[in-house]
Amino acid sequence: MLCTSKISGSQPVQGTIFTQAMIKKIAQTITVILILPIYIVFRLLALVNKNDAFASSSQFMSLLPGKTGSYLRNSFYTLTMTKCEQGVVFSFGTLFSQVDTEIEAGTYIGPQCNIGSCKIGQDCLLGSGVHILSGKNQHNIESTDIPIRQQGGRFEKITIGQDTWIGNNSVVMADIGNKCVIAAGSVVVHPVADNMVVAGNPAIVIKER
Express each pLDDT in 80-127 by its tens digit. 999 999 889 999 999 999 999 999 999 999 999 999 999 999 999 999
Long-range contact pairs involving 1-8 (C-beta distance under 8 Å, separation at least 24): none
pTM of the model: 0.83
The secondary structure element, H or E, covering residue 4 is helix 2-46
Taking only the tens of pLDDT, the chain with its 209 residues reads 444 444 445 555 566 666 766 777 777 778 878 899 999 999 999 999 999 999 999 999 999 999 889 999 999 999 999 999 988 999 999 999 999 999 999 999 999 999 999 999 999 999 999 999 998 888 888 888 889 888 888 889 999 999 999 999 999 999 999 999 999 999 999 999 999 999 999 999 999 99
Active site residue 131: no
Measure the CA–CA gap between 28 and 48, rounded to whole angstroms: 29
Sign of CA dihedral 199, 204, 207, 209: positive
Query: Please, is 133 exposed, middle or buried when counting C-beta atoms within 10 Å of its C-beta (0-12, 13-18, 19+)?
Result: buried
* pLDDT number for residue 149: 84
pLDDT tens across 10-21, in order?
555 566 666 766
Phi-psi region for residue 54, left (φ > 0), alpha (ψ -120 to 50) or beta?
alpha
- Beta-strand pair 165-166/125-126: parallel
Sequence length of the chain is 209
- Beta-strand pair 95-96/158-160: unpaired
Residue-range domains of the chain with CATH: 10-208 (2.160.10.10)
The residue annotated as part of the active site, out of 24, 25, 83, 139, is 139
Measure the CA–CA gap between 167 and 186, rounded to whole angstroms: 8
